[in-house]
Structure 1
Amino acid sequence: MRLFSLRSVILCSIVFCGIQWSSFAQQQPEFLEYTNSKWVDSVMQQLSPNERVAQLIMVAAYSNRDSQHKNEILKLVKEQKIGGLIFFQGTAKKQVELMNDYQLVSDVPLLGAIDAEWGLGMRLDNTISFPYQMALGAIEDDTLLYKMGEEVARQVKRTGLHMNFAPVVDVNNNPNNPVINYRSFGENKIKVAEKGIAYMKGMQDQKILTTAKHFPGHGDTDTDSHKALPQINHPFTRLDTLEMYPFKKLIDAGVGGVMVAHLNIPALDSSGVPSTLSKKIISGILKEKLGFKGLIVTDAMNMKGVTTGNQPGVVDKKAIIAGNDLLEFTEDVPKAIAEVRKAINQGIISQAAIDEKCRKVLAVKQWVGLNNYEPLKTANIDKELNNSHAKYLQQKLVEKSLTVLKNDEEMIPLRRLDTLKIASISIGAEKQTEFQKSLGWYTKIDHFQIKNKATASQISALKKKLKNYNVVIAGLHDHSRFPRNVIRYSDQVLKFIAEITQDEHTIFSVFKNPYSLNKINKIEEASVLIEAYQDSELTQQKAAQLIFGGFKADGKLPVSVGKKFKAGDGLETSEKIRFSYTRPEDAGMNADFLQNGIDSLMHQAINAKAIPGGVVLVAKDEKIVFQKAYGLHKYSDTIKVKASDLYDLASVTKVSSALPALMKLHDEGKFSLEDGIDDYLPYFKNSNKAGIPFQQIFAHQARFKPWIAYWQNTLRKNGSYKWNTFKKDSSARFPIKISDNMWLHRNYKKKIYKAIKKSPLEDKAEYKYSGLAFYLLPQIVENISGEDYRTYLNENFYSKLGATTLGYKPTEDFPVTRIVPTENDFAFRHEPIHGSVHDEGAIMMGGVSANAGLFSNANDLAKLMQMYLNMGKYGGERYIEEQTFKEWTKTQFPDNNNRRAIAFDKPNLEYQGLDNNTAKDASTKSFGHTGFTGTMVWMDPAENLLFVFLSNRVLPSRENRRLYTLNTRTQMQQVLYDAIKN
């Protein structure tokens, strides 16, 4: 899929290859070339003098109002012949429908505009909001703002409009500014200009007219011009060199429009009139001094900053006389037209001046393509607006905006998770936040919330609990629609924040306006301080990922915060060390192809009753780009599968338990593939297994029998159990739980060992899959390491990885509701299996074996597999030497037609079509394993690609083999490769 047109890519490369915008001579707005075009001439000839005035008027339209409002707009279009509409609240689909209707009755196509400073989400429901401009001001890479401009333009056009009243290029140098503030790129005039130009160019290169606003600069005021007329008392030199600087640069760069603010600026016009009505400011400065020839637009003409003391219609006339070309939000259209006609008749303004303005408006209409207007379709509009590329861009902008202001001793990204006991606190929240949920993907964390107005007793109780933790991660939340410079915390909560900043290992992520940092005592003394700029689910997710090293931070503070921080402050974190949770585009994969392909195959499998449900996880380049749960726990159930649910991994245990332990022990010189079982278990000396090297055993070429039905050896001929095998109740002699009514003798493991020892060997040394040796591996690991097997795995792998659900006997740590059931066993256990291992041999080993027994959710299993894919490294720590991994994941006996590596499976040596064990495009370097319950993990170093598939295909019975006949897993695996290629 081509994300950008060739023209856009070329423009992007030209614009952003180190060239400074100021190096260009002034570029004239492109639309001006049409002011005397044949189309404009023809329209002008058809327009009456009144209609030419009407072309300068834009009224407010809403797509969330009733038919009365629609009829009012239709009447203005048909009778008054207005030139355009500015749309406000509503939905995209309704907006398109209305615009089609309005265009249908208009003699001259209507110019449609919208305030979409941060995207359509500023006005329309269920559309994308990109970060506010204050957050964008923190981004170092302005090419991202250019791309945002492209995407916003595409979305504005898709909703039937042609003009965006953006970007805001006010220099916000007043923290108390109530109306600009977070809508500004910051306090540095140069950066404001550069970012404004990047955003503007992105939109205008896609034929959306932009308006730089709010001229001559609304950044240094503490009054909202919606409510009153702000006054700015700076001298001309200051205004000329600071406030107006970005406007000059955007004019030089070819901005199409400039919006004039409602401001009283004595240094520019001592009369006291709002700048919108000031001929000195508009005609004298903007047009003559700055040479702007583009479209001059008023700020909304219903705002108190301009309406106070001025009647509707009369105020519009004054704005036209002052030099504006387009009136936004005219409240009384007939009177506005009449007042302008009166001014013409009185000689205050000439008909020629009106005609010049009208031609500008018409030229804009031709430039945006309205001379060839066609109605828009509404089909699929929501899907098209919320497309994957836009979401990826939104995510990238958030990532690049996050600003690390403190990182004492490089505390983040957090390392050595096994040494950390972490608590998270969401301050200003009443329930678990997205921030906390996202933190939980990395390791075990205990979550707490504290309200804005928490009581002293609530705070005291929380402080006692926090004494049990050595790391505290605090999120400061607002949850208001806009990140204003407001603190809603009580004095007691503010005192609590100040106290915990003094703790040595406290991390703060502030999901609030950066100016608010100046209102929080001692916040600058926290060990780690992250400014996230706004409180959205996406910023919360990304802040959590940053803390754990999912990506590197490089944002820079766009404004100064009192004496605490300066504009430009911002630390880079050291490196990416763990998964990021991102979108497929971030790893060069086609999101739609991936989503549709996996969805289709999963729905096929579920509908065919091959599986009741499952979880699919895909990671590429150490980025989880897809993680989704499907279906139900069981066919007759109503419990939906969640991505966090635990599955019985079955034979995936073979590569997830003893194997990494033995690799580590191999690196330490304590284990060798050349040794045999008898070298580590003397019991096997003098057996037919003695001397057979582990290289052959793990490659399934040791002539071992595939399996032994241990449970059947417990039966008498009459079907009852032998006396020293099972009892109905537990006791000291029968402590091993098989089911509620089956308890195994404590020494039965010896019988399993004996059965393995005495089992005959196959006649020929060739590939034959066998799980026998894997029953012995836990004891071998214990004998070599001198540690308990489960403890060894947890301490050396699972806990360090943060894989907190990966382990044996899941009901010891998790409720059974989080565990997906497997088979309804009516042969051995005589009950549905839920919460214990499915494999009969493994349950008879107490649930702890290396052939089966592990449970995990997809996310935690992926951490171990990613460590494998990284050749032994994850989270900034090396677990196993790279050379060991390369050797153990290599095909061992290809000359014997054996594809297997050391325990890992490999692709067939020759592709076998639909019966192949992997996707056709899986490389020869790839490796993985499948499990009897319907699980699969596969890693491909050639593409740095990881695939995890969890299901319970054995429910209700292992005889259900539809997952195999459908070939779901390998077909799905191929989808990943296709998503890379497309």
Structure 2
Amino acid sequence: MPFAPQLASSHWVDSVMKTLTPDQRVAQLFMVAAYSNRKRIDEDSVSTLVQQYGVGGLIFFQGGPVRQSKLVNRYQSQAKVPLLVAMDGEWGVGMRLDSTTRFPYQMSMGGIRDNQLLYTMGQEIARQFKRLGMHVNFAPVVDVNNNANNPVIGFRSWGENRENVTEKSYQYMKGMQDAGVLAVAKHFPGHGDTDTDSHLALPLIRVDQRRIDTLELFPFRSLMRRGLGGVMIAHLNIPALDSTGMPSTLSKPIVTGLLKQKLGFEGMVFTDAMNMKGVISKYPPGDADVRAILAGNDILEFSRNIPLALRMVREAINKGLINQEEIDTRCRKVLALKQWAGLNHYKPINLKNLYQDLNTPHANYLTRRLSELSVTLLRNQNKLLPLQRLDTLRLATLTIGTKDTTFFQRMVADYAPVQHFWLPATASLNELTAMRETLKPYNTVLIGVNNLGSLPATNFGVTPEVNVMLHELVGQKQKMIVSVFGNAYSLSRIRDLDRADAVLLAYQESQNAQEVTAEIIFGGLGATGKLPVTVSSRYPIGAGLTTQGGIRLAYSYPEAARMNNNLEARVDSIVNGAIAAKALPGAEVLIARKGVVVLRKSYGTHSFADAPAQAGKSSRPVRNTDIYDLASVTKVSAALPSLMKLQDEGKFNPDMTMGQVFPEFKGTNKNDLKLRDVLTHQARLKAWIPFWQNYVKKDGTLRHRFFHADSSRRYPLPVARNIWARKDFPARIHKAIGGSPLNDKPGYVYSDLSFIMYPAFVQAASGQTIDQFAQQNFYKPLGATTLGYNPTRRFPLARIVPTEYDSLFRKQQLHGTVHDEGAALLGGLSGHAGLFADANDLAKLVQMYAWNGRYGGQQLIKPETLAEYERCQFCPDNRRGLGFDRPATNPAVNASKNASQSSFGHTGFTGTYWWVEPKEDLVVIFLSNRVNPTRRNNKISSLNVRTNILQVAIEAAQKVGKASVESAVPKE
């Protein structure tokens, strides 16, 4: 329930009042500034004010959550009456404290249409306040910002429309107060139409009373009617309300006459900081404090000199200027607020798990979601966005204003191959000319304008050089997409935006804002934001285009896909347990639901620290961009999609025979084998053939006529480091497969042999090698940069995760070359093994399967073809689809107990795995190198690591419950 001044007559308030001297009652009206990032002498000075003078409260500024909480506990233990603790947390505690959640600025959210999310934000901010032992938030800012040159409000306001400001402020306010934290609307009677910073001087408001009543006071009046608990008075000179020139904080006509009497506000009235030049430039400390009390304020914030202020207030009381009864009434009101906040049952802050309790998955999701709804698309010529046909684009990013790789650039790289470039905001003409030449090979350039400012006096950080750069770059034959990571008003200072092909406004430079902007560009998300202010005639309030989302993967948190927020913790437990058990040195997990990547996390290291290959050196931590040997996952990630594509083209179908597909098998025992039986592993083919054993001597050394230390026309096939194989190995292996016997008995036997042959068929049918065919038809359209064979040709070795130490054949640590011996003899190019990828790029291919062959707006495989390959062909005797694996009778083999019979996927010998659960719209990918340092380690299977992760993912989807962020509807 909202704060009620009636609590001032409660038993607890009465009992405390009896213990306070008249001077201590005055002290209860003061809140002093505190910091958790300053020296011990500063902390001790606050202790003195608490112990010696009995101040009523604290307002915390910069620092950290643990340090601040320790100080709060210290100060509370020293206080005779529990202290009221406050903060300016307009965008949450992260506005002041490091390592905590920072919600978007109010103006960033001014154009979102789902106001109910702001109620949820208010609740979450209040939860964090209470966890930190705080009771009052000096928020929301309800100023209607109708002056683009406002130097102090600007991005802190919801915008220029009074109704929009009011409704958003109400939701934020009610969310906080319903959760037990007092909301303080500011800055009364309205700070939105100023061109002076009240921190530096006293702003003059040059409008009449009617305008103030209909515009500035509109949000305050509405919120007061609906339970607003607190109001902060601004330092303003408003002749229409007080002709004396008195700062509004010290003005009785404004504080008492207008706020308390005319508007009837009975809640808590706070001054703005009493150390600001807007008040003390004319009225020095002490004098200003007396005048603030005379004006009718209940609590004075950040008084510059507490001992002086208390002495001068006492003198004013003694002189009869201030009535002690009025002091007592306000003291009771302060105590009533303390009781409302629960301080009558004060408990110290528990420091255990403080960081985790503040940075919850829900908090992370909520700030991400608010950013998603905020980013505004202002220009989109010829519906360029979301970008289509990635295989036709030559992408570059250009960041103006910073020399470091930005979050925006990293997210762009998650979607497509791209080259990054940078220019300073004050680039020289030579630098600009050179950059223009550098960008010429690219047909699409994504420009990010970064490191902007918030002040109109500095042109919002838009330098003349920035405008010269944009003038020279936009309007060329290339497609230019400009993203502005800064204040909305900065758009009016950036020239030539109307010549760009697309323009996006992200409002700020946070990680969320930058990543979300990239997601909108590529269609992971749709654009929905609207401008909350008028920037120019071209970009008026309400401007904002919409685009389609969900055509590519998006990135968020479990809550975004209606999954239980304990998902990450449960996956952490499984993977960290597997690493501790030495089942694998490291791994990456990616889980997506409804096209949203909700978990993408790496664990462990590339190798065990005690592995022989690691002697004397530390192993590299696994990163999300690391590339893994996919082993048998190659079958369903290269060979199988190629076959399906050829079937769509009428060049293949599973009812053909091996003799029809492979001419060399005519007249052999493979001639009449149907591909439907072959692809379901029931065609009596041998499981595998150890081809390599025919090419080593009895002592295990390589037969030199088949291998060479250097590549040449005769030895072009890479087998391992400094080992190159003869070019006739593919023919030799194909011949060996053709001559191999069939199994004596029919039935299911998992076999590599046909998949070794499919690249030859793909080349014969398409004229391209399998890597070329897969790249052209799948990996490039998907933007899957890392998916491919022989990764050392494209990526540094440090990015590739090592596999086994091969002690039998190649006698070396395998790193960057395929683990499978048969695929190695084929130069790493096979249909059964040889493919490498990182989890993100593999997820694009798997999501394409989950989306019935469609991704990025392109139908890459016909839905009916994919459906045929996914379904069980010979159930119940054989679980397999065509190439795809499906749940086994024993769920520990390949799926989990909750996996449906419509689910499908594949496992890889090196410890890789992906699985699709259509019933939950779920994709699970697990990449590891469990064969490092030896394949004899099979703990990954005995511990059911991969299937357990699938199980917790399914449970997280099934057990999420009915409640969600969007359903949290406030009740008046």
Task: Please give the TM-score of this superposition, normalised by the length of structure 2.
Answer: 0.95
Residue of 914, 918, 939 corresponding to 1:941: 918
1:972 maps to what in 2?
A: 949
Instruction: Quote how far apart the aligned CAs of 1:614 are.
Output: 2.0
Secondary structure class of the residue paired with 2:9:
coil
Instruction: Find the counterpart in structure 2 of residue 663 from structure 1.
Output: 644
Counterpart in the other structure of 2:620: 639
- Is the 8 Å Cα contact of residues 86 and 136 (structure 2) preserved in structure 1? yes
Matches within 5 A, 1:958-969: 958-969=935-946
**Paired residue for 1:264?**
237
Which of 872, 883, 906 in structure 2 is aligned with 1:903? 883
CA spacing shift, 1:607–1:77, aligned 2, 3 Å: closer
2:262 to 286, 289, 299: 289
Aligned twin of 2:868: 887
SS of residue paired to 2:507: coil
Which of residues 534, 539, 559 is equivalent to 1:565?
539
Write out per-residue CA displacement over residues 335-371 of structure 1, whole angstroms, 9 at most, x where no aligned residue: 4334334444444443333332222212111111111
8 Å contact kept, 2:2–2:178: no
Query: CA 1:155 to 1:814, structure 2 compared with 1: closer, same or farther past 3 Å?
Result: same
Partner Cα distance (1:728, 1:183) in 2: 66
* Residue from 827, 838, 843 that aligns with 2:824: 843
Alpha-carbon distance between aligned partners in 1 of 2:87 and 2:632, rounded to the nearest angstrom: 58
1:34–1:836 distance in 2 versus 1, CA, 3 Å: same
Quick one: distance in 1 between partners of 2:640 and 2:772?
A: 15
* One-letter amino acid of the counterpart of residue 41, structure 2: Q
Aligned counterparts of 2:42 and 2:704: Cα–Cα separation in 1: 86
1:247 aligns with 2:227: no
Query: Is the counterpart of residue 150 in structure 1 residue 123 in structure 2?
Result: yes
Structure 1 residue 867 displacement after superposition:
0.5
Paired letter, 1:540: Q
Query: Using the alignment, how far apart are the partners of 2:466 and 2:450 within structure 1?
Result: 12
SS in 2 for 1:474: strand
Deviation at 1:438, TM superposition (A): 1.1
Structure 1, 249-258 or 594-603: larger mean CA deviation: 594-603
- The equivalent residue for 1:865 is 846
* 1:376 counterpart residue number: 349
Q: Extract unaligned runs of 5+ from structure 2.
A: 609-613, 961-972
Cα shift at 1:206: 0.9
Give the alignment partner of residue 228 of structure 1, picking from 161, 185, 201. 201
Task: State whether residues 631 and 834 of structure 2, in contact with CA within 8 Å, keep that contact through their aligned partners in structure 1.
Answer: yes
Match of 2:287 in 1: 314
SS of equivalent to 2:186: strand
Report the Cα distance in structure 1 between the residues aligned to 2:764 and 2:554, rounded to whole angstroms.
38
Alpha carbons of structure 1 residues 78 and 663: separation in structure 2 relative to 1, 3 Å: same
Q: CA deviation at 1:857?
A: 0.9
Instruction: Give the letter for the 2:580 counterpart.
Output: N
Q: Is the 8 A contact 1:705 1:772 kept in 2?
A: yes
Match of 1:432 among 380, 384, 405: 405
Residues 139-195 of structure 1 deviation map (CA, whole Å, 9 limit, x = unaligned): 211111111111111111111111111111111111111111111111111111111
- Where do residues 296-307 of structure 1 align in structure 2 (5 Å cutoff)? 296-307=269-280
State the partner residue of 2:717: 736
Task: State the distance in 2 between where 1:177 and 1:717 align.
Answer: 85
Secondary structure of 1:35's aligned partner = helix
> Are the counterparts in 2 of residues 804 and 860 from structure 1 also a CA contact under 8 Å?
yes
What is the aligned partner in structure 2 of residue 16 from structure 1?
none
Deviation at 1:699, TM superposition (A): 0.5
Residue 821 (structure 1) aligned with residue 795 (structure 2)? no
Separation of aligned partners in 2, 1:741 and 1:334: 80
SS of residue paired to 2:107: helix
Confirm whether residue 279 of structure 1 aligns to residue 279 of structure 2. Answer: no
Does the C-alpha gap of structure 1 residues 79 and 923 become closer, same or farther in structure 2, counting only changes over 3 Å?
Answer: same
User: Aligned letter for 1:285?
Assistant: L
Q: 1:483, 1:589 → 2: CA distance?
A: 43
Q: Does 1:705 align with 2:678?
A: no
Give 1:772's aligned residue. Answer: 753
Whichever residue aligns with residue 965 of structure 1, its letter is S
Any conservation in 1 of the 2:425–2:465 contact (CA below 8 Å)?
no
Contact 2:452 / 2:462 at 8 angstroms: preserved in 1? no
Aligned twin of 1:787 = 768
Task: Report the Cα distance in structure 2 between the residues aligned to 1:738 and 1:91, rounded to whole angstroms.
Answer: 54
* Partner-residue secondary structure (3-state), 2:719: strand
Look up the SS of the partner of 1:948 in the other structure.
Answer: strand
The share of aligned pairs that are identical, in percent, is 50
Corresponding residue of 2:518? 544
- AA aligned to 1:421 is R
Question: Structure 2: how far apart are the matches of 1:823 and 1:339?
Answer: 80
Q: Distance in 2 between matches of 1:660 and 1:356?
A: 78
Aligned AA (2:881): A
Q: In 2, distance between residues paired with 1:228 and 1:732?
A: 80
Say whether 1:339 aligns with 2:312.
yes
1:831-866 per-position Cα deviation (integer Å, ceiling 9, x unaligned): 322222111211222221101111111111111011
Following superposition, the deviation at residue 715 of structure 1 comes to 4.7
Q: 1:756 to 1:216 in 2, by over 3 A?
A: same
The 5 A counterparts of 1:480-629 are 486-503=459-476, 505-591=479-565, 593-629=566-602
Residues 182 and 484 in structure 1, CA contact (< 8 A), matched pair in contact too: no
CA distance 1:279–1:678, change in 2 (3 Å): same
How many Å separate the matches in 1 of 2:295 and 2:716? 93
1:489 Cα deviation after fit: 5.0
Q: Which residue of 2 aligns with 1:689?
A: 670
Matched residue SS, 2:45: helix
Whole-angstrom CA distance in 2 between matches of 1:518 and 1:123: 30
The corresponding residue for 1:929 is 906
1:373-425 Cα offsets, whole Å, 9 max, x none, are 12222122122111221111111111111111111122111110000000100
Residue 433 of structure 2 corresponds to 460
Change (3 A) 1:362 1:895: closer
Contact 2:462 2:490 in 1 (8 A): no
CA distance in 1, matches of 2:231, 2:699: 94
Query: Structure 2: how far apart are the matches of 1:621 and 1:177?
Result: 43
Are 1:87 and 2:87 counterparts?
no
Deviations along 1:905-936, one digit per CA (max 9) or x if unpaired, are 1111x345xx4332221221111111111111
Structure-to-structure mapping, 1:460-479, within 5 angstroms: 460-478=433-451
Alignment match, 1:9: none
The alpha carbon displacement at 1:487 in A equals 4.1
- Letter matched to residue 254 of structure 2: I
Q: Secondary structure at the match of 1:124?
A: coil
Give 1:904 shift: 1.0
CA displacement at 1:229 relative to structure 2: 0.6
- One-letter code aligned to 1:562: S
Q: CA deviation at 1:495?
A: 0.6
Which among 330, 355, 368 is matched to residue 357 of structure 1?
A: 330
Q: Using the alignment, how far apart are the partners of 2:295 and 2:425 within structure 1?
A: 49
Rounded Cα–Cα distance in structure 1 between residues aligned with 2:21 and 2:686? 97
Q: CA deviation at 1:893?
A: 1.2
> 2:645 is paired with a residue of what secondary structure?
helix
1:137 alignment counterpart = 110
Secondary structure, aligned partner of 2:438 = helix
Contact 2:27 2:310 in 1 (8 A): yes
Are residue 630 (structure 1) and residue 630 (structure 2) matched? no
Choose the corresponding residue for 1:39, options 1, 7, 12.
12
Q: 2:967: which partner in 1?
A: none
Q: Deviations over 1:515-535 (max 9, x none)?
A: 111111112331111111111
Letter in 2 for 1:961: N
How many pairs are equivalent? 950
Select which of 763, 779, 783 maps to 2:744: 763
CA 1:156/1:732 → structure 2, altered by over 3 Å: closer, same or farther? closer
Tell me which of 124, 144, 165 is aligned to 1:192.
Answer: 165
Moved more, 731-740 or 210-219: 731-740
Residue 966 of structure 2: aligned partner: none
